Amino acid sequence: MMIMEINAYAPDFELPNIDGNVGHLTRYLEKFEIVAVIFMCNHCPYVKAYIERLIELQNYFSDRFPGKVTLVGINSNDQVKYPEDSFTKMQEYAKNWRINFHYLRDRNQEVAEAFGATCTPEPFVVDRQGILRYRGQIDDNYRDPTAVTEPSLKLAIEQMLKGETISKAMEPAIGCSIKWK
């Protein structure tokens, strides 16, 4: 699998959203300056540890920078081997957690492959021109949100909103491997 490099054009996608609509990167970029694509799933303990923080992050940017930033979750896991990651279970998961961002299903895993995603949760931040500007960890402590000293994803998005180059080294995301077919 090829790893997508920073400053490369992000691959466009058109995937079913849990709300019955279709999520399309181009359409998100028409509405928002920044799109944070988060490869995630339902069963991963790392995603479970981060899901509240992702919801809070969407709230933070929606409140402070209305219409400028959106998160988009994508589940690419094999639902045959991992039935908890099926589309129906995604809908239940989103309802239970009150997920406030789009949650899309990548059934054939082509989008995860095109991004070079390796784990869940793994964020990729794309600017309005469709260029990847950040790929890495959400923060530096998945176990304890109160012990986070480096909210990497949030800081990267804030720098992008200011028109700055992301200054910190991008630490790789940690999590469960994507469950390939």
The pLDDT score that the predictor gives to residue 169 is 80
Its domain, for residue 48, covers 14-177
Tell whether pTM > 0.95.
Answer: yes
Does 76 map to a domain? yes
Q: What's the domain count of the chain?
A: 1
Task: Tell me which DSSP letter residue 109 carries.
Answer: -
Does 59 map to a domain? yes
Token digits of residue 70: 């959106």
Does 65 map to a domain? yes
Does 154 map to a domain? yes
Does 9 map to a domain? no
Identity of the amino acid at 68: K
Does 48 map to a domain? yes
The pLDDT score that the predictor gives to residue 3 is 80
Task: List beta partners, residue 34.
Answer: 69, 127
The pLDDT score that the predictor gives to residue 40 is 98
Does 6 map to a domain? no
Q: What is the CATH number of the domain that holds 84?
A: 3.40.30.10
pLDDT in single tens digits along all 181 residues of the chain: 678 899 999 999 999 999 999 999 999 999 999 999 999 999 999 999 999 999 999 999 999 999 999 999 999 999 999 999 999 999 999 999 999 999 999 999 999 999 999 999 999 999 999 999 999 999 999 999 999 999 999 999 999 999 999 988 889 999 999 999 9
Does 4 map to a domain? no
